[in-house]
Chain A
Amino acid sequence: MIMKTPIVSNQFLIKQLPKPTAFINKEFKVVLASDKWAEDFNFQGKDYIGKSIYELFKNVSNKWTETLLACFDGKFPESGTDVYLDNSSKEKWFQWNNIPWYDEQENIIGAIIQTEDVTDRVKNELRIEKLEFLQKATGEHGKIGNWEYHKQQDKFICCGMIRRIFEVDDDYEIDIDNSVNFYKAGYSRNTISMAIFSAREKKTSWNEKLQIVTAKGNEKWVNVSGKPLYKSGEYVGLIGIVQDITDFVQKEQKTKDNEHLLKTLINNLPLQIYIKDTQSKKLLANKSELEFLGIESENDIIGKDDFDLYDKPTAQKFRDEDVEVMISQNPMLNKELTRTNPDGSVITFLSSKIPLKGDNGEVTGLVGISMDISEQKQKEKELKSLISVTSSQNKKLINFAHIVSHNLRSHSANFAMLLDFLASEEDEKEKLRIMDMLTDSSKNLMDTLHNLNDIVAINTESNIIKKEVNVNKKVNGVLKKLKTQLDRNKATVISEISDDVKINVVPAYLQNILTNIITNALKYKKPDVDPIIKLSLNYVQNYTVLSIEDNGLGLDLKKYGTKLFGMYKTFHGNADAKGLGLYITKNQIEAMHGKINASSQVGIGSTFNLYFNEKN
């Protein structure tokens, strides 16, 4: 049974076509169009019938025009794509397909245009094109290659970059199994094998840093990542990338090596090194600096400034230096600084601060270098003291030799002269007189030799033995021996020394020194004033100082100061002055590593200060 076809007009039929379709005459004017067509191009409600497509579409491509003209010639040309702007000015793409339009007499009366909205497709294509470009570009720049494995076809596809990374020829066929063999035997190969296995079995992805050995035998570092592909829950293959990171790893390794080298170097230098930022906060401190500050871990010092580490005045001083260096951009070099430790010891160090400049020339902080030179300082001091001792001994020796030669010469000259007289003298009385003088001279010579011997003994005794003696006891002993002299001179001796004071001395020397100075006080007393001798004790640095003060004649030290302790120097013209006492005293006290000095005023009196060394 044939269904009865309802009679409808052509126009109505065309309006209902499901595909966007338009009929144009040879003047490009729309004769008929489906509603879908009008809808697609937003012509609904507009008077589009009878309008030229050139009126309806702002931009009709030449190709479309050409194909339409071809249709008018009875050809069936290829389809094409054009773009137009929709109501909201968005770009829309459509594909057109044109065929000739025949009437019932097979005459071409126009063209039938079918269009299809391909905006999504075009956009996708564009996106893929972009992605492909990006992938290629990043691949090239980042040396990243990609690969895919399709299980069903057992096919392994990879890009050229992978071949370049593996250094294989273009005709080499890479598959999933032989690609694994490029990984270095051991950790790398095991890891990649396990990763692929695990991806297949447990759907895991991977991302590893591994080593490969290329077809040419070069070792390379690669970053590999990949994941399994699934289609409807079923494993279908793998996808992954391989990035050549050899340069990066090498650079990283180099940086690490350099850093290690630098760290080793600065940590083992016998210098304290630190880096500070512009706020004087520490960014780095080497082992010596940490040890110096008594801090164990570098982490405990990073970010701290000197105010956290030193007392305020010291820290402020350091901060001022830092600011000066950073503002002036001139380094501070080898500034000698001292620091007193809590235990009283003094550290001397040389401090340098060098400004650190960034790429733009701006100061970003400073590098500090300090060197502890306490030991050198100590040695320098010892050396200086040694030189001073040596030179003073040398001076003493020359002086001594000079004195000895002078003295002996003066005696021998007298002998020569007197003997000369004696030879030609006829007067018996005069002869006797000369003989007496010769005897005196000889006695004097003996005395002189004896004194010189004493002095030599004091100076050559290399290991003098010091004993602890009670000062007052020793003083009293000396006073007892001098009692007759003291009494004869009506002298008063006052000791302000407490009874328990003890000092380390060579007892015989101390006795001699005390005797000498007290006797001097009596010898050089004022003729009309009874002598008063005062003894007192105090402490100066490493010395116990015994002071002996008298009210005697006194001495102009400006005039005689340098000669006071010299040999054979006398100052008052006293008959019993031999000029030896103070010379021996000085020698004895110096032999005990002490020293002696005097203050005096003519007409008022003198004070002798004896410095006894407590330490050695």
Chain B
Amino acid sequence: MPAVRLVLEVLLIYTLMKKINSIFIVDDDPITVYGIKKILNSVATCDAIFEFKNGQMAIDGIKKMIIEKSDLPELIFLDINMPIMDGWEFLDAFIKLPLKKSININIVTSSIDQNDKDKAENFKSLTHHSIIFNSKPIRRSEIEEITTAISI
């Protein structure tokens, strides 16, 4: 009875794991992307994970979603140093978008520069979206915390 099993499995997942509908990962480093995905898979279930190599591609993706009226991502992992459009430039463009829903943005960077932390704080004060600054390496516990907070 595969159907029953499937239902059971789904039920099990629903009870044990957090469910997040869609997540953006904006990073040009494939290893980081791999890492985030790997951890995510172990702490939450997700309908869709979208990967973008830079800020420009991510902002274009969000604009497309707005036009198509599809569900916006609940969580965005954002790298800072990227070609074409970096993380800051992405934030600049993103907070200008007419979004009512508060989106969780999780900055993941190898920078430990206080200037970058201050910049993140500054963005935080300018928007209703939630912005968290995390230095690499990313840890399972941190991602778990984030996903838990979202899926309640």
**Residues of chain A having any CB pair with chain B under 8 Å:** 402, 405-407, 409-410, 413-414, 416-418, 420-421, 437, 440-441, 568-573, 577, 579
**Nearest-CB distance from A465 to chain B (Å)?**
36
State the CA gap A420–B136 with chains docked (Å): 13
How far apart sit A420 and B140, CA to CA, in the bound complex (Å)?
10
CB-CB under 8 A from A413, the residues of chain B are: 110, 135-138
In whole Å, how far is B82's beta carbon from the nearest beta carbon of chain A?
9
Asked, given contacts A409-B111, A417-B138, whether A437 binds B34 with beta carbons under 8 Å apart, the answer is yes
Distance in angstroms between the alpha carbons of A568 and B111 in the assembled complex? 14
9 new A-B contacts, CB < 8 A, other than A406-B81, A413-B136, are: A407-B110, A409-B110, A410-B29, A410-B110, A413-B137, A414-B31, A417-B32, A570-B83, A573-B84
| B53, CB-defined interface residue at 8 Å | yes
Bound complex: CA A572 to CA B136 (Å): 26
Interface of A is mostly: helix
A414 touches B32 (CB 8 A): yes
CB <8 Å contact, A414 and B113? no
Residue in A closest to B38 when the chains form the complex, CB atoms:
A421
Q: Which residues from B are CB-within-8-Å of A420?
A: 137, 139
Give A88 Cβ to nearest chain B Cβ, in Å. 120
CB-CB < 8 A to A577: which residues of B? Answer: 83
Q: How far is the CB of A17 from chain B (nearest CB, A)?
A: 141
Total A-B residue pairs with C-beta atoms closer than 8 Å? 59
Pairs across A and B, CB under 8 Å, 9 listed? A402-B113, A406-B81, A407-B110, A409-B110, A418-B31, A568-B81, A569-B83, A573-B54, A579-B83
Q: Is A573 touching B53 in the complex (CB atoms < 8 A)?
A: yes
Q: Bound state CA distance, A437 and B111, in angstroms?
A: 21
Does B8 belong to the interface (CB within 8 Å)? no
Q: Which residue on A lies nearest to B31, using beta carbons?
A: A414
Interface footprint category on B = 20 to 34
Chain B contact residues, majority secondary structure: loop
Q: How far is the CB of A412 from chain B (nearest CB, A)?
A: 8
Considering only CB atoms, which chain B residue lies closest to A569 in the complex? B83
Chain A residues within an 8 Å CB radius of B110: 406-407, 409-410, 413
Binding site for A on B (CB under 8 A): 29, 31-32, 34-35, 38, 53-54, 56-57, 81, 83-84, 110-113, 135-139
**Inside 8 A of A573's CB, which chain B residues have their CB?**
53-54, 56-57, 83-84
Pairs of residues from A and B, 6 with the lowest C-beta to C-beta distance, nearest first: A413-B136, A410-B110, A570-B83, A413-B137, A417-B137, A409-B110
Per the bound structure, the CA–CA distance linking A410 and B81 in Å amounts to 10
Chain A residues contacting B139 (CB-CB under 8 Å) are 420
B38 and A410 form a contact (CB under 8 A) = no
Bound CA–CA A572/B81 (angstroms): 14
Q: Which residues of A contact B135 (CB under 8 A)?
A: 413
- Pick from B53, B83, B137: contact of A416, CB under 8 Å: B137
**Contact between A414 and B84, CB atoms less than 8 A apart:** no
A406-B111, A413-B136, A413-B137 as given contacts; A572 in contact with B31, CB under 8 Å: no
Q: How far is the CB of A116 from chain B (nearest CB, A)?
A: 129
Q: Is B83's CB under 8 angstroms from A437's CB?
A: no
Choose among B29, B35, B113 the residue with the greatest number of A CB atoms under 10 Å from its CB.
B35
